[in-house]
């Protein structure tokens, strides 16, 4: 997901810890100045900031196509979608900051490569059809994860998720609409959509993180109400929702093991290449370097401007004080 | 040199006639840019007709751990609610 394999802190055993857990069990939201265990605070900072970094880095693969969108309307739509993602990043950074970490620290962690972001954004967008796949599949997967997070135990995170979810449906639909236009077009356009699906399907499946059996950090996070569904649960839901949509589009999902299971009333599906996943997480995906370089360049190139704005703000404050 | 912009709290009036409501926060060098950013970040879909921004550092808040002492006194004063009083039905609307 947008936050994958978040390392989870430990719960304490003091009376305060017990009262805290009791509050969560009673569904009382935790707010920034409430007492909370250090483990809860640190896990949340990792999770929310990873989520924020994903929104920010996630602008890059789609941004790649803004200037080359096939029509002015598609361009305006994509621009609005990418702008939303910037907004999502900002809501989330602010939520993380309520836990006592500064924006500069968070930025530094991303730029130095210390913080992670979702594996999915390290794949390239080779054709226009990839932009459709990102909206349809990647935003679709993100929705699966973000909808339950609206009920998470930390107030600012939950409120940020509510805002984000209001905007996500547009993202998935515009992606589906791009794919639909392609499959209803020429043979070449349909082939382009199929090719993009072949490349994006497995990375999208892997977004949900490792199988539950290998997911070491889930238990405490679930107890704390900051992870609400298991990776496999959400993955299954995503597959069940997406297969009929692919069929409707007349596209073939690149999984020979995919088939309806009458007993489970769900689709059985194959195993992704988890070696590839861990390799991408370690920084060796196709675009990891490029993504980090792009973020570093944007940060460095903007330094003079940020400094100028602050200098101007300080000067006008001084003048205002002098005038009073 | 660190140039982290100060934090601002954003309040938006959703519709004419409603009060401004806190919607989130953002970093900006000054009030003017805080307002512009607030418009871009928080009103991309007609969410408001007016925006206030306030430096976060200017907000004073009660300590949440003292909530009980702070809000308990009103709990025992149920006579502050109109339903405390029994008005016979034949008195009519009141
Ligand atoms: Fe997003
Ligand atoms: Fe999105």
Which of A48, A77, A94 is the mutation pick for testing B, counting most B CBs within 10 A?
A94
SS (H, E, C) chain B: CCCCCCEEEEEEECCCCCCEEEEEEEECCCHHHHHHHHHHHHCCCCCCCEEEEEEHHHCCCCCHHHHHHHHHHHCCCHHHCHHHCCCCHHHCCC
Interface of B with A (CB under 8 A): 1-5, 7, 24-27, 29-30, 33, 40-41, 44-45, 61, 63-65
pLDDT at A185: 98
Name residues with Cβ closer than 5 Å to ligand 1, which is an ion: A 55, 85, 88
Whichever domain contains A177, its CATH number is: 1.20.1260.10
Q: How confident is the model at residue B2 (pLDDT cuts 50, 70, 90)?
A: low
User: How large is the ipTM?
Assistant: 0.88
Its domain, for residue A41, covers 15-285
Provide the shortest C-alpha distance from residue B88 to chain A (in Å).
40
pLDDT at A217 over 80: no
Answer whether residue B48 shows pLDDT above 70: yes
CB-neighbour burial class of residue B63 (10 A; exposed 0-12, middle 13-18, buried 19+): exposed
Residue A157 has pLDDT above 60, yes or no: yes
Checking if the pLDDT of A289 tops 60, the result is yes
Residue A218: predicted pLDDT? 81
In CATH, what number does B7-88 get?
Answer: 3.10.20.520
Residue from the list B5, B26, B30 with its beta carbon closest to the beta carbon of A94: B26
Pairing type for strands B20-27 and B7-13 reads antiparallel
Q: How many domains does chain A fold into?
A: 1
Buried b (16+ CB within 10 A) or exposed e, A192-214: bbbebbebbbbbbbbbbbbeeee
Q: What pLDDT digit, counting tens, does each position of A243-269 carry?
A: 999 999 999 999 999 999 999 999 999
Inter-chain residue contact A163 with B63, CB threshold 8 Å:
no
Alpha carbon of A118 to ligand 2 centroid (Å): 13
Q: What is the mean pLDDT of residues A113-140?
A: 97
Is the pTM higher than 0.80?
A: yes
At residue A243, the pLDDT reads 98
In this complex, do B44 and A83 lie within 8 Å of one another by their Cβ atoms? Answer: yes
Looking at residue B1, its pLDDT comes to 46
pLDDT at A134 over 60: yes
- Is residue A242 in some structural domain? yes
Chain B residue nearest residue A299, CA to CA: B3
């Amino acid at each position: 997901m947008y936050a994958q394999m978040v390392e989870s802190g430990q719960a304490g055993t003091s009376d305060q810890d017990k009262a805290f857990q009791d509050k969560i069990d009673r569904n009382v939201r935790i707010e920034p100045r409430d007492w909370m265990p250090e483990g809860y605070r640190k896990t949340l900072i990792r999770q929310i900031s990873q989520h924020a970094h994903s929104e920010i880095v996630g602008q890059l693969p789609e941004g790649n196509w803004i200037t080359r969108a096939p029509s002015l309307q598609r361009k305006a739509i994509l621009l609005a979608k990418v702008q939303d993602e910037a907004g999502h990043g900002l809501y989330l950074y602010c939520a993380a900051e309520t836990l006592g970490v500064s924006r500069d620290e968070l930025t530094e962690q991303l730029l130095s490569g210390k913080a992670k972001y979702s594996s999915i954004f390290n794949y390239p967008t080779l054709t226009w059809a990839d932009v459709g796949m990102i909206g349809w599949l990647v935003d679709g997967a993100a929705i699966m994860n973000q909808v339950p997070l609206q009920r998470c135990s930390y107030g600012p995170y939950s409120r940020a998720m509510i805002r984000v979810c209001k905007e996500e449906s547009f993202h998935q639909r515009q992606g589906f609409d791009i794919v639909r236009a392609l499959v209803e077009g020429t043979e070449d356009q349909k082939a382009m959509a199929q090719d993009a699906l072949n490349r994006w399907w497995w990375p999208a499946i892997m977004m949900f993180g490792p199988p539950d059996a290998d997911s070491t950090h889930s238990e405490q996070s679930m107890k704390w109400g900051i992870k609400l569904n298991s990776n496999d649960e959400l993955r299954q839901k995503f597959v069940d929702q997406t297969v009929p949509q692919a069929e409707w589009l007349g596209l073939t999902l690149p999984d020979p093991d995919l088939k309806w299971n009458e007993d489970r009333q769900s689709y059985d599906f194959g195993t992704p290449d988890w070696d590839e996943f861990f390799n991408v997480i370690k920084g060796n995906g196709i675009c990891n370097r490029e993504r980090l370089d792009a973020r570093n360049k944007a940060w460095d190139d903007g330094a003079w401007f940020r400094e100028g704005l602050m200098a101007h703000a300080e000067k006008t404050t001084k003048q205002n004080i002098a005038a009073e | 040199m660190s140039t982290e912009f100060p934090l601002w709290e954003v309040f938006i009036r959703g519709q004419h006639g409603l009060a401004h409501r806190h919607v989130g926060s953002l970093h900006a060098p000054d009030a003017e840019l805080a307002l512009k950013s607030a418009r871009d970040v928080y009103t991309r879909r007609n969410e408001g007709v007016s925006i206030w921004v306030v430096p976060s550092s200017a907000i004073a808040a009660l300590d949440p751990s003292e909530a009980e002492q702070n809000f308990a006194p009103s709990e025992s004063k149920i006579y502050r609610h109109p339903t405390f009083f029994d008005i016979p039905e034949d008195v009519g609307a009141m």
